Amino acid sequence: KAGVTQTPRYLIKTRGQQVTLSCSPISGHRSVSWYQQTPGQGLQFLFEYFSETQRNKGNFPGRFSGRQFSNSRSEMNVSTLELGDSALYLCASSLGGPGTDTQYFGPGTRLTVL
Amino acid sequence: AQSVSQHNHHVILSEAASLELGCNYSYGGTVNLFWYVQYPGQHLQLLLKYFSGDPLVKGIKGFEAEFIKSKFSFNLRKPSVQWSDTAEYFCAVNEGSGGGADGLTFGKGTHLIIQP
């Protein structure tokens, strides 16, 4: 079974721009979660989608948003990019939701904001 | 809010040495506990998990962890490490109620280096 895939793998943007990252979960998984990984803050939860609905949200500003499609694929959008948004963005999928199931992670998208 | 503490940020061991990485969490309710590993250049992989039942759980590659509820701990152990165990190790926790309220809360990670 194919794992979680994320596109693109690398991205360079400038301050003020916006960016969209994509995640395809493992086949049959309906929950997709997003995390930000930085050297200073470590891994931090952004939000989780299940059946096209955002169920949970971490402590990030409204510039960070996401959505999930009927095929469970998910996108994450960051508007008005700041230098501090440079990070590895990880997507994880699970069968039924983070509270009851194991999350499997993708390789991440490395975002650099100049 | 939950928090996870990994006390050792950097650990250097020789091959065949025994390993124990500490993990403590703060949350008063039922929790699910995980250890993930990130090998150089690779993505996060699940080592082992605890949801309920036997507090001693065994994972891949000879790793095991013990959940001690009274100590809010979930320490990772391996009796004899190999050079290939060089990686970043993350302890993580989320609510065990099924609500998945906050996603996974991760510790800061432990960078383990195994010297040949």
Reported as a single tens digit per residue, the pLDDT across B36-81 is: 999 998 999 999 999 888 999 999 999 999 999 999 999 999 999 9
At residue B101, the pLDDT reads 47
| DSSP states of chain A | ----EEE-SEEEE-TT--EEEEEEPPTT--EEEEEEEETTTEEEEEEEEETTEEEEE-S--TTEEEEE-TTS-EEEEE-S--GGG-EEEEEEEESS-TTTS--EE---EEEEE-
- Token readout for A51 is 């059946």
B108 within 8 A of A42, measured Cβ to Cβ: yes
Give the pLDDT band (50/70/90) at residue B98: low
Percentage above 70 pLDDT, chain A: 96
Give the pLDDT band (50/70/90) at residue A20: very high
Residues 54-93 of A with CB under 8 A from B: 55-56, 58, 90, 92
Distance from A24 to chain B by nearest Cα, in Å?
15
Residue A38 has pLDDT above 60, yes or no: yes
Across the interface, whether the CB atoms of B103 and A107 are under 8 A apart is answered no
Distance from B112 to chain A by nearest Cα, in Å?
16
At residue B76, the pLDDT reads 98
Note whether A33 contacts B: Cβ–Cβ < 8 A: yes
B76 vs B18, B63, B90, B105, B110, CA distance in Å? 11, 7, 10, 17, 11
Over range B14-27, report the average pLDDT.
Answer: 95
- Token readout for A15 is 């301050």
Note whether A5 contacts B: Cβ–Cβ < 8 A: no
Residue B82 has pLDDT above 60, yes or no: yes
Please state, in angstroms and rounded to a whole number, the distance separating the CA atoms of residues A90 and A94: 14
Distance from A102 to chain B by nearest Cα, in Å?
8
Residue A56 has pLDDT above 90, yes or no: no
Residue A39 has pLDDT above 70, yes or no: yes
Q: Tokens 């004899």, residue? A: B80
Note whether B105 contacts A: Cβ–Cβ < 8 A: yes
Across the interface, whether the CB atoms of B100 and A99 are under 8 A apart is answered yes
Residue B102 has pLDDT above 80, yes or no: no
DSSP β-ladder status, A5-7 and B24-26: unpaired
Note whether A20 contacts B: Cβ–Cβ < 8 A: no
Percentage above 90 pLDDT, chain A: 82
* Chain A interface disruption, residue of B2, B33, B104, B111, most A CBs within 10 A: B104
B100 vs A20, A57, B43, B56, B110, CA distance in Å? 25, 10, 23, 23, 25
Closest to A66 (Cα-Cα) out of A3, A110, A84, A58 = A58
At residue B52, the pLDDT reads 86
Amino acid residing at A4: V
Note whether B18 contacts A: Cβ–Cβ < 8 A: no
Beta partners for B96?
A: none
Please state, in angstroms and rounded to a whole number, the distance separating the CA atoms of residues B111 and B24: 17
- Token readout for B104 is 């996974």
Least confident of A65-69, B26-30, B64-68: B26-30
Please tell me which residue of chain B has the smallest CA distance to A42: B108
Residue B107 has pLDDT above 50, yes or no: yes
Give the pLDDT band (50/70/90) at residue A108: very high
